[in-house]
Structure 1
Amino acid sequence: YHKHSQDSYRVVGFEVETYSVDKAELTFAEESCGYPSEPRPQLVNEDTGTKLYFTYSVEWGESDIEWASRWDIYLGMKDVQIHWFSIVNSIVVLFFLSGILTMIMVRTLRRDIARYNSDEKVEDMIEETGWKLVHGDV
């Protein structure tokens, strides 16, 4: 915790330790739920449906960490490396897909232009096709 003012405190971090403790070793008192210093683990039997008891204890400790900087330990990056392989791989894939798209567009346009040039010679073609349908809409 961090002492914010005279009568207010803020939790700025915590740690959790888990224990598997045999029920027979637990002491259920009103003020605490203690367990021995070296608890015996609780064995779980799948056939009988063993009940597991969940408990926790809290130990408070004062810290110099302020509320505004409580996430710094998690957000700070250690050993920062640039992943060159991933960057180069992404660029190669980008160029590859762009090349495929360019080839498709060029082939389609060449075929359309060749068809339209041959269509101009034929006078019986009344209906326009392809991009000629939308040339006046733009």
Structure 2
Amino acid sequence: MEIVWSVLLINLTFFKIKTLKLSAKKKLTKEEVAQFQSAVSKDYYFQMYYDDLPIWVFLGKVENEGKSDPSEYKYYLFKHLHFEIFYNKDRVIEINARTDPNALVDLSEDKEVEVEFMYSVKWKETNTPFEKRMEKYSHSSSLPHHLEIHWFSIINSCVTVLLVTGFLATILMRVLKNDFVKYAHDEEAADDQEETGWKYIHGDVFRYPKYKSLFAAALGSGTQLFTL
């Protein structure tokens, strides 16, 4: 594809309107057609600059509605670019590029295809000052977005989260239920047994020591560390 784009010649002369201009005429080989098919299916786009302003344009589109077999997909390459440039006096403020949906080249078949790349230019005046021309790019992402929403993936993720949550809740409830039964049984058995060993002093851990205020002051000031 690098060879194809290297022959494109787009001349955007300031304030010169062009209705339709031939950019390049190229005969694509089978290998290049296969490369374009792969690039179009992956939503590839190309990037260019005009007066330090970036432009992004998609290479083509895929028509796969109602078709489950990838071999039946239709691959199309955009061959006409339309540039819309806004200017303020002798300064370029904004530039937009869009493709013509009616100017397409069918790349569905693995054969050589001859393509005529065209472009057109239209200039429009604006009151936006030159100092604010980059605000458009600071308020939005610098990359184009594909507007297709993958509803199947979203629904699949939600269902998976609900199922995993249900499984975890069921396991947790069974574990807690077994623990409650076990602890209740242990308490009943403990009441029937005499207290021996450590059970005699298990309540002393909650007994206040003598001179508790002095003990708290000594711990708070770090006296025990000085003693060590």
Q: What interval of TM-score do these two structures reach, taking the shorter chain for normalisation?
A: 0.3 to 0.5
Hey, which of these two has a bigger chunk of strand by percent? Answer: 2
TM-score (norm 2): 0.28
TM-score (norm 1): 0.42
